[in-house]
Structures are given as C-alpha cells and as structure tokens.
Structure 1
C-alpha cells in the first residue's frame, strides 16, 4: 500500500507563515530597549555619546515600522526574501549602534545573536548562512573600528585588548553554534510535525476503510424494505400473469432473486455500524488482513505461531483497530520490498503478552542506521540494488515512522534488529538473516475478550425500527 502523499513543507514555505505584524512588534520592543539604554547611559552614567547619530539609527527603525504599518495590510505574510531583508536590516542597524557606542567594549554586543537565531528558526539554510556570515563580518569590524566610549570627564572606557579578542572569539563561536543548534532543533521539529501529519492521514484513511464496513452493513439493513416491496409486487404479478407463461416466469425469477438478496442481507443488516465482527477478530486473522495487499507481489509470505501457545482456535481475539492494521501493513510492506524471496510472520502469546515478529531474507537494515530506525526522514545514499528493488523510492523512513507511531498508540513496543551481519558474505540464504521487527503488546491492551477492552460476544442483535 502506498504511503499517503502529503506536501512536505520546505523552509521557504514555512517562512511565509510569519506575519509582518509579528516582526513589527519585535522591532518595537528592540526600539524601546535601545532608547532606554541610550537614556540610561547618558543621564545616569554621563557617557559622551553621538546622540544625533544614535537617535538617527533608532529613528530609521521607527520610520520603517510606521511605513510597514500604514502601507501593508495587517494580515500580510512575509515572503522568504522579505523576511531576510528585515532580519538583515535589524542586524545592520544594531551593528551601526554598536559602532557608535564602543563596539565590542559594549556588553550589548551580545544582542548580535538575536537576528541569527531568528533567521535559523524561520528562514532557509541559505538565508541563515548569509545572516550568520554578515553578523560575523560586523563583529569582526566592530572589534577594530568603533567610536570610543568616554565619561563625562573625558575618561576613555575600554577593556583590555585580550578581552576584546576574547569577546570576538566568543561571539563568532556563539553565532555559529547557536545558529546551527537553533537550525537543527527547528528542522527536527518541522520534520516531526510533517511526519505526524502523514501518520494522522494514514490513520484517517484506515479508519475510513473500517467505517466503510459498518456503512455497508447499515446500507444492507436499509435495503431490506425495498426488497420486501419487490418480493410482494412480484408475487402479485405471478398471480395476475397466470395466462402468460413467459412473463410469469420472469416475475418468478424476480421473486427468486429477491429472496436470495433477502438471505444475503439477513446477516449483513443486523447490527449496522456496531457490527461485533468488525470490532474484533482472531490475532492471525488481523495479521493476514494487514498483510493481504502484499501477498501477491512475487514474495512468499509465511504465517506461523508458537506451537506451545495452543491450537489456532485458542489464539487470542484482539481489537481490530485501524492503528494496528495499518501499522502492521507498513511493516509487511517494508519486509516484502527488501526480501529476496520470503517473509515470515510469527505470532507468540501467553497470558501476559502478545508478540509478532516480521522477518525477511533480505540484506537487513544498514548497521549505521539501525539505532535511528523509526525516525522520520532518515535518508541514506541509494545503491544500484536499491534502485532495482524499489524504483522511485526515496528512503525517508516515513513508512516505518508511521508504523511505529500507530502501533505505539495501540500500546505496542517495537524493536528492530538484523538476523545476521548484512556485510558478511557467509550468511546462508533462505534463513532468517535479514531485517527483524518485533512488535510486543501487553495482552491487556488489545485483548478483546478480557480486561477493560472486552467486547460483547455472540451474534449481532437485530435492529428494530
């Protein structure tokens, strides 16, 4: 079964989520902070500043905000280019203020990290690199070129050159590290958000398929009345057409087929959408239902169960949940895709746990990715063999992530392993030497006959109208 096709968002698309009003609000906060800092520096500490140029720099930000407020609508979303220009403007404006107020001797030089962090969070990698490079250039220039800070009495305020150099190194490292850290975390959050959206779509799709069975049952119940009318009308026609044998035979055929439809619908229309047989099934029945779409793809799928657990008739009945069916279906699909010839599905159960193992005779999971199996968007370089086995497959790990997420929602724990070293040429073919997935549930989580999940047993009750 193909995975749900969702439009995974790029960084540039996400940057369009930022409203102009948000950036304007942040800039107002920066403007107020800059004015407060200039006022305190002059009035409380008596520092000699180039107030005209300082207020000019702040005034440019004020004018830019006012223009944005009156020219653009309140709900305007910034494009990638517009976001980049606004961040660069704020970075250059802050750099100019620091030039006027002592350069790296000014402790507020730490604020250079702000635009870089914002860029890493909302812009693309290319834009983030450009902003970070610009910040490093500005910091480097400020370490050498700046207007000195002087007190009211004319004393020069500056820290030793060694500390200036230390500040420069610290800022450059912080720009690189915080930018990379913020970018990495943001990308991880976005990837997880996209993957969870795909999982929700997959679950919704499987839920619709499950509900369809109930809809069919309900529809069958509703068809009972028109079929009864057909039967009654055909019976009257048989009596009225006694002197016309050919037409009488046609009416008899209509009645016979109406009786046949009645017999077929008798069992289908008893419980509507609450059909007990749609809500639970024996363990191996659910497993076979999940694997059925992949049984005829040129690979042998074998089903076995623990002989010590009892005969098949003693196997547990489990909840027929969409999460379980779709999750197992994805695991079987992955096994069939990479198996050489055979996939084994083994079931084990006891009074406490239910375990399924899905194994294949393929090459197994890449050892370097084994610890990351189940994470979304795990890419690796494709080999020629991969292209032959799964042409067009991008290998993002989204299918296994969906399976893992859905099955864990049902209470399962998943583990991934290899039956043998995939790089070893000594592994015999035809044995369980490929990938192994073990899915284990506490029996109380999915058992449909005991515990909190117990469902009614027996035949469906007829619907009375």
Structure 2
C-alpha cells in the first residue's frame, strides 16, 4: 500500500498556514478597520482545527512505521475545507475574497490522491461554496467604511491570490516532485526485477551446465593422468600434459565452488583473499601480466562467496581482454569498507559506462553480484590511458 505520510505532513503545514491567515485577517479587520467580529465562533473553529492537527501530528510521531492511506489524507483535507467554510460563514460567506482558498486543498488532492478522493473533495467544496451564497453572517462594516468596501474586497482578493500562488509553488510543486521520485523508484524496481529474472535464468543454465560438465571433466582427468604416466619419459609432452592437468584441476575447483555456493564462506584477510583470487585467475589466463599492489598494515577480514568471486574474476577477464600486456590490481581499505581497483592500459572509454564497453551479460552479472553483496562499481578513466574499475565492498559482510 502506498504511504502518503509526506503528503499528510504537507496538509498539516497548509492547515497551520490557513489558521495563521485566519488570525492575521481577523487582527487586520479589528485593528486596521475597526470591525466587530463574532469572536466566539471564530475562536471555536480555530481551536477545533488546531486540536485536530496536533492530534494528527502526535499520532504520526507515535506510529512512524505505519503507512498513511490516501483516505486519511482525504479526510484531513475535508476537515480543512469544512473549517474554512465555517470561518467564511462568520465573515461574509461567498462575498469574502478568501473563498479562493478553497482551491488549495483541491490542488493538493489532485496532485497526490486517487480520483475517487479528488471528486469527493470537489463535491464537498462545491456544496460548501453554494451554501455560503445563502447562509452566512454579513461582515459588520460600519457606515463610515462603506466607501472603502470595494477597496477592501480588492485587497483581500490580492492577498488570497498571492498566498495561494506561493503555497501552490511550494507545497504542490514539492508533492509533484515526490510523485516523480516515487515513479522513478518504481521504474527502478521493475527494471531490477526484470534483471533479476534474466539473471535467474542464466544462473539456472549455469547450474545445469555445471552438473553436466562434472562427468566429462572427471573422464578427461583420468585420461590425462594415464597419458602422463605413459609418457613420463618425454619431457616436452609431459609438460603439456601437466599443464592440462592443472587446467582440469582449476575447472573442477570452480565447479566445486559453484556447487557449494550455499555454504557460508570462511572469513580471511582481504590481502590473502586477493592473492588467492589472482592465483586462481592465473591458472586460467596463463599469459596475464597482472601487477598486484597492497597497502601496508593488517587487512580487514572478508568472506567472498562464489558469486562475488566470479564477479571479480569477470572484471579481471575484461581487463585482460582490453589490455593483454598489462593489468593492475590495487587493494585499499578504510574502516569497514575495502576498495578493489582493476586497471588496464587498453583504449579506455568516453565516460559512459557499460553500454559502449560492449561487455554485455558478463558485466551485468558481475555488477548484480557486487550490488547484492552490498557493494558498488564505478568505471573511471585511468590516468595515462585505459580503464579503472573500482569495486567498493563491505569487509566481513561481503559474501
């Protein structure tokens, strides 16, 4: 259910502004023009609105986590409309220039509430205004001030217009911005759900492929071991077979990590985790020229699961593809966060991130895994040419 709490807070602000306007107009009428006003009715109406507003504010403070429905905002606006109508009843009815103030609650309703509440409030406003054409107490204007009546009416219309314009520019514009932000959040949530659905499909395919690859890898391992034993006397062939055995062991290790993805990873110092990550990567990318840079001091603990490790390996692969002759890996940390930077000396990019890099699904998977671990990824232009990808992660919580 949508939460209309910010809109209700602005409705309460409008109520305080309306009460201040009522009080200011009454003081001006008494001290400026010597009018005798029906104070008991005006005070009772003002006190009722103020008490209702304070009770609503207290309720919002005592229950900050409960969402405010649209119907609650509609009731609050209806109270304001009735309160303003009662105030106008004591001060000239529809002849009072401040009848234009009726439009402010309607503007807030139209900007934020469902159409049902908007039309109900519109009907209430029309009924109240129509009744004020007949039922009201005339303004007690003395005979000496009758000549100034038209001027006073014009001045009141100007005050009502200026006040309404300022409030529309403030409250209603802010409500519109709030609605646009909510729409942007909903659009982002829809895009995230769609991306997660696509990634889930890819993950299912990867799990199926991992299951099917287990048997062929085991068979190839047995065959390579037999060939190594048969050709132990041939150094060149044996070296190639040893390399094949290492590659097969790396593949089996990755499959074992994939199958154990639900297990809780073991925390270890961040520098050790980075060295292990680099060693695993070098088993697959034999020709890489990665340069590792570590700061001095004791590194914080990290616990990287399979998905996060694969995301980091994917970024390393991208760096090697862009710059086969050199890749840089830098680790830094502060408080409970660590920063891992992957650099390359490739052609770089023009300031936009993933689309023009042409990295496709691999980067989408990597970014999703990093964000799910509580981190963020930033693509930067490397000084001197190339790309620098900074991955900021929590320390122990980065799984």
| TM-score, scaled relative to structure 2 | 0.45
More helix by share: 2
Q: Looking at both structures, which has the greater relative contact order when contacts are Cα pairs under 8 Å and sequence separation is at least 6?
A: 1
| TM-score, scaled relative to structure 1 | 0.39
